[in-house]
């Protein structure tokens, strides 16, 4: 049985197949409207979410299936002290596939050890978020026409931002990608990730100024400072407004640079940028739903 715990669980070939399937779903949604009839998805969200949970649920409905689940640890037996493993053993009796989000890094790995149905990691702590990466890759594919040969800027909280970690894990397996990692000193990409880039000979540079870097980028991936992962509020307040992408900065960017953001945005992108044709973050939301459809088709059809 296949799970998706980290984006590296998928080979490049499989990611490319999912992107191709996603393209077909986008063009011919009706072809897929009954493909998962009779199947049930459980969404177990021990941490807040708008997009990811609703996107999984909408994806399952659009494939003809059903959805059960909970949003918030307080509305599940976790509040009574039940372990993740016991919750998973239970829910596997009710559902054909489980998407889970948990504040603890590694929780989906523990879940997969006891699961009798596929587990999809919908975000674990500051660790991984592989289905957001599928959304991000589809955005690059559709809006830039490629997921390779890109000068990719990642900006903001690169330390706690799990979407950043998973995206680097995917893009570093495609040729010609160069990473420009823009963050304050305190929020740099964790050392194991930069070491892996070095070991693989993948070009990357760490920088602190968005103004200085923006003019060279093909895509800019903005992120929110992850308040809930900070140890103290003072540090959060000091760092939260380090980068604000506005019209003035967009004027320094290439005419065909795209702006991405996994959302939710706080104030790191001024709303005036939303009308810029280079702003792709709301399109990215739709691509996320499409790629979750592709992923569930793959995992459930492989299992059958
Ligand atoms: C991200 C997450 O949960 O990691 N949101 C999402 O799933 N699109 C990003 C974030 O919360 O900042």
The pTM score is 0.97
Which of 126, 132, 230 maximizes ligand 1 atoms within 8 Å of its Cβ, making it the mutation to test the pocket? 132
- Percentage of residues of the chain with pLDDT beyond 90: 94
Q: Which atom of ligand 1 is nearest to the CA of 161?
A: 4
The encoded tokens of residue 258 equal 């795209």
For ligand 1, the distance from its centroid to the CA atom of residue 304, given in whole angstroms, is: 31
Number of other CB atoms surrounding residue 279 within 10 Å: 19
Q: How far apart are CA 44 and CA 299, in angstroms?
A: 18
Q: Is 132 in the pocket of ligand 1 (CB under 6 A)?
A: yes
What angle (nearest 5°) sits at the alpha carbon of residue 76, between those of residues 71 and 81? 135
For ligand 1, the distance from its centroid to the CA atom of residue 151, given in whole angstroms, is: 23
Q: Concatenated DSSP letters for 57-111?
A: HHHHHHTT-EEEEEESGGGSGGGGT--HHHHHHHHTTT-SEEEEEESSTTHHHHH
Q: Is 51 in the pocket of ligand 1 (CB under 6 A)?
A: yes
pLDDT digits (tens, 9 = 90+) for 31-87: 999 999 999 999 999 998 999 999 999 999 999 999 999 998 888 888 888 999 999
Q: Is 163 in the pocket of ligand 1 (CB under 6 A)?
A: yes
Q: How far apart are CA 22 and CA 284, in angstroms?
A: 13
pLDDT digits (tens, 9 = 90+) for 167-186: 999 999 999 999 999 999 99
**CA nearest ligand 1 atom 8, residue:** 262
The arithmetic mean of pLDDT across residues 181-193, rounded, is 97
């Amino acid at each position: 049985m296949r799970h998706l715990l980290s984006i590296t669980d998928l080979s490049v070939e499989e990611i490319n197949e999912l992107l191709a399937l996603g393209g077909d779903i986008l063009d011919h949604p009706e072809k897929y409207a009954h493909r998962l009839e009779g199947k049930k998805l459980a969404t177990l969200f021990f941490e807040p979410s708008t997009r990811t949970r609703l996107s999984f649920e909408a994806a399952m409905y659009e494939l003809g299936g059903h959805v059960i689940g909970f949003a918030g640890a307080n509305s599940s037996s976790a509040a009574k002290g039940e372990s993740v493993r016991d919750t998973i053993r239970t829910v596997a009796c009710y559902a054909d596939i489980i998407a889970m989000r948990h504040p603890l890094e590694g929780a989906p790995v523990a879940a997969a050890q006891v699961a009798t149905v596929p587990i999809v990691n919908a975000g674990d702590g500051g660790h991984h978020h592989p289905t957001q990466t599928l959304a991000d890759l589809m955005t690059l594919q559709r809006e830039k026409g490629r997921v390779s040969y890109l000068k990719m800027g990642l900006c903001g909280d690169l330390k706690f931002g799990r979407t950043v970690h998973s995206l680097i894990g995917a893009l570093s397996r495609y040729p010609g990608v160069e990473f420009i990692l823009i963050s304050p000193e305190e929020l740099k990409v964790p050392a194991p990730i930069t070491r892996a880039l070095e070991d693989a000979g993948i070009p990357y540079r760490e920088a602190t100024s968005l103004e200085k870097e923006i003019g060279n980028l093909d895509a800019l991936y903005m992120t929110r400072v992850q308040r809930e992962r900070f140890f103290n509020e003072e540090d959060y307040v000091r760092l939260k407004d380090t980068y604000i992408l506005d019209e003035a900065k967009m004027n320094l960017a290439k005419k065909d640079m795209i702006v991405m953001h996994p959302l939710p945005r706080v104030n790191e992108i001024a709303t005036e940028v939303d009308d810029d044709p280079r702003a792709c973050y709301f399109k990215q939301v739709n691509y996320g739903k499409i790629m979750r459809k592709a992923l569930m088709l793959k995992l459930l059809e492989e299992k059958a």
